[in-house]
Amino acid sequence: MLIIGLTGGIASGKSTVAKMLVKKGAHLIDADQIAREVVQPDLPAWQEIVDWLGETILLPDRSIDRVKLAGIVFNDSAKLEKLNEIIHPRVADRFAVLSSEIAGKDPDAVIVYDIPLLIEAGMHSGVDLILLVYVSPEIQLERLQQRDHLSRIEAENRLSAQMPLGDKKKYADAIIDNSGSINETAAQAEQFWDKIMQGGC
């Protein structure tokens, strides 16, 4: 079993690269998806968030209003840290369970951990190699504004809550530069896959 820690930053194109690796045969475990699952109504993390921020954080169906929550935590580093303390341990536990299930069915599996905050959350120590999806700060800011319909200030606030992609390079065993076309990114993903299949990286 090989565990790849796939990381990057918001709007860097991580999900695009993850899909490319899945097409090659990798098993994907998506941190964002699990983070949504662990805060479903009445689960422990949901209850902690409601106790902390009150029921005004809820939508009519009692699920957490993710837009409102993002607006609160991305403008306050202490609140973001508290949210991460609630969610990250539960996400990590779920990763361990899912990895064990995959390994039980396929001992030679390549598992991709798609984790935006892989390094910030300290989860990089639990992977075999780190793959960073990189774009320049200017492109990242522009893509984030377009994707989430944010003002420049709002986008800058979200980016400032994460470690800069340039700082993540020193942790990476391999880097895919997603600044160009989708075909250029796909070619790099193909090269990366071929290399790990040959025991490289």
pLDDT of residue 22: 97
28: β partners: 112
Contacts of 198 (CB under 8 A, 6+ apart): none
Helix (H) or strand (E) holding 1: none
Domain range annotation of the chain: 2-197
Helix axes 77-105, 44-53, angle to 10 degrees: 170
In the chain, what is the straight-line distance between the N-terminal and C-terminal CA atoms, in Å?
15
Query: pLDDT under 50 in the chain at which residues?
Result: none
pLDDT of residue 201: 64
pTM: 0.84
Give the dihedral sign, CA 105/187/18/113: positive
pLDDT of residue 122: 84
> 2-197 architecture in CATH?
3-Layer(aba) Sandwich (3.40)
d(CA 118, CA 90): 14
pLDDT of residue 36: 94
Secondary structure of residue 69 in the 3-state scheme: helix
Q: What is the largest CA-CA distance in the chain?
A: 53
d(CA 57, CA 65): 6
